[in-house]
């Protein structure tokens, strides 16, 4: 079973920041948090991952709470091409996908 809980869907206006939450209250000390997204009919795309410090790359920022029980993926300036299903993953030795968050970017 997936170890994370995410909202089923979210809307975000184009050009605004999209903030996608994830709860992972049972995360253990050495488990990383990974974010992927899947655009329709494509394979999942890796976005970012982190252990306990906040991370930023060219795609997104990842904010992890101090107790590591939740995190937020931030897409700073959402575009229509960011419409996808976003998966928050706490990985053991293999990735088990939950239902993810379906993000709609509104023009």
Partner 1 sequence: GAVVSQHPSRVICKSGTSVKIECRSLDFQATTMFWYRQFPKKSLMLMATSNEGSKATYEQGVEKDKFLINHASLTLSTLTVTSAHPEDSSFYICSAREEYSNQPQHFGDGTRLSIL
Which one, 13 or 51, has the nearer CB to partner 1? Answer: 51
Angle at 70 between CA 67 and CA 74, to 5 degrees: 125
Distance of CA 94 to the CA centre of its chain: 17
Name the one residue in this structure whose structure tokens are 């088990």: 96
Closest to 105 measured CA to CA, from 20, 44, 1, 2? 20
Please write down the HEC assignment for all residues of 29-88.
CCCCEEEEEECCCCCCEEEEEECCCCEECCCCEEEECCCCCEEEEEECCCCHHHCEEEEE
> Which one of 6-14, 16-24, 66-74, 89-97 is the stretch in contact with partner 1 (CB under 8 A)?
89-97
Told to check if 34 binds partner 1 by CB under 8 A, we report yes
Q: Which of 36, 62, 68, 101 binds partner 1 (CB under 8 A)?
A: 36
Residues 44-63 that bind partner 1 (CB under 8 A): 44-46, 49, 51
> Which one of 10-18, 61-69, 70-78, 83-91 is the stretch in contact with partner 1 (CB under 8 A)?
83-91
Which one, 69 or 91, has the nearer CB to partner 1? Answer: 91
Told to check if 96 binds partner 1 by CB under 8 A, we report yes
Task: Give the residues lining the site for partner 1 (CB under 8 A).
Answer: 32, 34, 36, 38, 41-46, 49, 51, 85, 87, 91, 93-100
């Amino acid at each position: 079973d997936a170890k994370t809980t995410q909202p089923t869907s979210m809307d975000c206006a184009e050009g605004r920041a999209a903030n996608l939450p994830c709860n992972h209250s049972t995360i253990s000390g050495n488990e990383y948090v990974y974010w992927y997204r899947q655009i329709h009919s494509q394979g999942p795309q890796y976005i970012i991952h982190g252990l306990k410090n906040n991370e930023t790359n060219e795609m997104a920022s990842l904010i992890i709470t101090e107790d590591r029980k939740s995190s937020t993926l931030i897409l700073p300036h959402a575009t229509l091409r960011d419409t996808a299903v976003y998966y928050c993953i706490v990985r053991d030795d293999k990735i088990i996908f939950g239902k993810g968050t379906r993000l709609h970017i509104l023009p």
